[in-house]
Structure 1
Amino acid sequence: MSPVTTQTSSEPIVQESSITFGGKANHTIPNFTDMYEKRKWMLNHMAAAFRVFARKDYAEGQAGHISIRDPVDRDTFWINPLGVHFAMLKAEDMVHVNEMGEILPDGNQLSINHAGFCIHSEIHKARPDVDAACHTHSIYGKAYSTFGKPLEMISQDSCLFYNAHAVYEGFGGVVLDGGEGKHIAAALGSKQSVILQNHGILTTGRSVDEAAFMFIAMEKSCQAQLLADAAANQSKPKRFIEDREAAFTYNATVTPFNLYSCFQPEYSYEISRSNGDI
C-alpha cells in the first residue's frame, strides 16, 4: 500500500491502488487494437448505463444525456436521441455527432437534445482526457444543487469526490447555446464531477462505466448530505472526515480500474434483465 499523503492543493492526487488479495481480478478493462470493435463495446456499455439510470429513476421527460467520445474519430462523440426513454435505449439507437452538431451517417438519424449537445460538446473539446460524461435531472442531485455548495466529507463514499468536484454557481437557465456549455466546462475544469447550481449534477470518466458509477455515487452522496443536514442540530452536530483520511480514501479508491469495476455488477444485472438485448 502506498503511504498516506495529505492533500494540500485543490487538485486531486490520483494514484493506482496496489492493494491485492490474491486470485485474479473479477473485472478487467479490455484492450482493443481494432477501434471499431472498441466503438461497439463502448456503445453497448453506454446503452446499459441508460438502462441502469432508468431503473434508478433518473429519467425525466426528454432531459438527461450520456455521451461517449468516439474511439475512431476522437473529435466526434455519441449521444442519446431525443425523446427515447432511457429504459428502451439500445446501442444501435445512439446518435453520432461532430463538433458542429452535424449528425453523422453511421449512427441513428434521430434528432438529439440541443442542450445536451451544447454541454457535452464543450466538455469533450475542453477535456481530451474525458471519454464519457453523464448528466440527468436526478432528484437528490438537483435538490442538493440548490445550495451551490460542494459535498462535505461526511462518509467514506463522499471521499470519492474529495477535492475532485467543482460547483458551477452561474446558472444561466436552460442551455440553449454554446456559451452556457463553455461556462459549465470551465467550471468543471480539471475535476471529474461538477454540481450545477439549481440544475443537477454532471460526472465524467475515462469510460462510460466510470462516469456512470460516479454519477450514481454522487447522487447517493447528495441524498446522504441532505439527510445529514436535516438531522444535524446542536446536540447532534455532524462530524467530518479529516483531510488526511479523506485523501487516503480517495487515492485508494478513485482509479480507472476500480471505478470501472464498481459499475460491472450493475452492467451484468442489466444484461441479465434484458437477456442480452441491449
Structure 2
Amino acid sequence: MVPPDFDSPAEERLHRKQELAAAFRLFGKFGFSEGVAGHITARDPEHPDRFWVNPFGMSFSQIRVSDLVLVDHDGTVVEGEHPVNRAAFCIHSEVHKARPDAVAAAHAHSLHGKAFATLRRPLDPLTQDACAFFEDQGLYEDFRGVVNDTEEGRRIGAALGPHKAVILANHGILTVGQSVAEAAWWFITMERSCQAQLLAMAAGDPQHIDRETALQVREQIGTPLAGWFQLRPLWDQITAEQPDLFD
C-alpha cells in the first residue's frame, strides 16, 4: 500500500483536508487538546504559500472538512468563516517556509510531550518506537511565552531543521511530514515515546539501544512511507466511528 496519486489539485486538496479533519478527530480522541491550544496544518497543493488549519476555538473532536480555514503566509484568511489562532499562523507559516518538502505540520499541548519538553533534551533511543526519532529531531530551547510573532516561528523552523520533529522547551512537540497522515503519526508516536521515557526514568536507569541498531531501526520505521502507513489503522477506525468528519 502506498499513498494515492491524484488527477487534479482539487482532488488532492480534498484528500488533504479529509486527512486533516481525521487527524484532528484522532487528537481529540487521544486527549491532546488543551483549551484552544494546538493546530495541524496542511499545505494547499495548488498554492504552496497557503495552508489549511483548524478554526480558532473549535474542539478537535468536532472539526469537519467544511470547518477548515485557508490562510496565506501573511496571515490573511483566504477561505473560511472562522478566525485563526495567531500562534498557529506565526509557527506554521515559518515552518512551512523553512520546509518546502513538508506538506503538513502538527503541534498540540499533549500531556507527556509538555512534560518531556521541560527536560530540554532529545528523546533517547530507549524503545523501538523512539528510534524513529533517533538523530532526527531538533531542540528549540528559547521559550519566550505564547508565540505571537513570526520571528519566533522562524527560530522554531530553524531548530526543526531537516528533521521530522522538534521538541519545544517548556512547550511541547511539533512534527512534520510529506503527508498529513505522516505528520499526525509522528506526533502520536512521539507523544507516546515521551511517555515511555518518562516512565522508564521514573522507574530506574533505562538502557539505551546502541547507535548502529537505532539507526537501522530508524530506516525501517522512520521513513515518510512508514509514517503514512502507520496511521492507516487509525484512519480506518476514526472514519468508521465518526463519518461526519467528511461533511
Residue 149 of structure 2: aligned partner: 177
Give deviations 1:75-127, integer Å, cap 9, x for gaps: 111111101000000111111011111111xx322100000100000000111
Residue 56 of structure 1: aligned partner: 30
> 2-side partners of 1:57 and 1:270: how far apart?
14
Q: SS in structure 2 opposite 1:172?
A: coil
Q: SS in structure 1 opposite 2:174?
A: strand
1:134 to 106, 119, 123: 106
Q: SS in structure 2 opposite 1:238?
A: coil
> 2-side partners of 1:34 and 1:97: how far apart?
21
1:39 to 13, 21, 30: 13
> 1-side partners of 2:218 and 2:201: how far apart?
23
> 1-side partners of 2:35 and 2:221: how far apart?
34
Q: SS in structure 2 opposite 1:71?
A: coil
Q: CA deviation at 1:276?
A: 5.2
Q: CA deviation at 1:62?
A: 0.6
Cα distance change on mapping 1:68 and 1:275 into 2, 3 Å: closer
Residue 112 of structure 1: aligned partner: 84
> 2-side partners of 1:48 and 1:72: how far apart?
21
Q: RMSD across aligned C-alpha pairs, in angstroms?
A: 0.9
2:118 to 109, 132, 146: 146
Q: CA deviation at 1:277?
A: 4.2
Q: Is 2:64 the counterpart of 1:90?
A: yes
Q: Which amino acid aligns with 1:131?
A: V
Q: SS in structure 2 opposite 1:30?
A: coil
Q: Which amino acid aligns with 2:130?
A: S
Q: How many residues align?
A: 246
Q: SS in structure 2 opposite 1:72?
A: coil
Give deviations 1:121-151, integer Å, cap 9, x for gaps: 0000111001100000000000000010001
Q: SS in structure 2 opposite 1:179?
A: helix
Q: SS in structure 2 opposite 1:29?
A: coil
Q: SS in structure 1 opposite 2:243?
A: coil
> 2-side partners of 1:226 and 1:254: how far apart?
21
Matched residues, percent identical?
43
Residue 230 of structure 1: aligned partner: 202
Describe how 1:139-218 pairs up with structure 2 within 5 A. Answer: 139-218=111-190
> 1-side partners of 2:245 and 2:192: how far apart?
28
Q: Which amino acid aligns with 1:62?
A: V
Q: CA deviation at 1:33?
A: 2.4
Q: Which amino acid aligns with 1:82?
A: F
> 2-side partners of 1:77 and 1:59: how far apart?
21
Q: SS in structure 2 opposite 1:175?
A: coil
Cα distance change on mapping 1:266 and 1:178 into 2, 3 Å: same
Q: CA deviation at 1:264?
A: 1.1
Structure 2 unmatched ranges of 5 or more: none
Residue 249 of structure 1: aligned partner: 217
Q: Which amino acid aligns with 1:243?
A: R
Q: SS in structure 2 opposite 1:38?
A: helix
Q: Which amino acid aligns with 1:127?
A: R
> 2-side partners of 1:275 and 1:185: how far apart?
34
1:258 to 218, 226, 242: 226
Describe how 1:76-87 pairs up with structure 2 within 5 A. Answer: 76-87=50-61
Give the conservation status (yes or no) of the 8 Å contact 2:92–2:105. yes
Q: SS in structure 2 opposite 1:186?
A: helix
Q: Which amino acid aligns with 1:172?
A: R
Q: CA deviation at 1:253?
A: 1.5
Q: SS in structure 2 opposite 1:229?
A: helix
Q: Which amino acid aligns with 1:161?
A: F
> 1-side partners of 2:222 and 2:105: how far apart?
16
The runs of at least 4 consecutive aligned structure 1 residues that moved more than 3 Å come to none
> 2-side partners of 1:277 and 1:51: how far apart?
8
Greater percentage in helix: 2
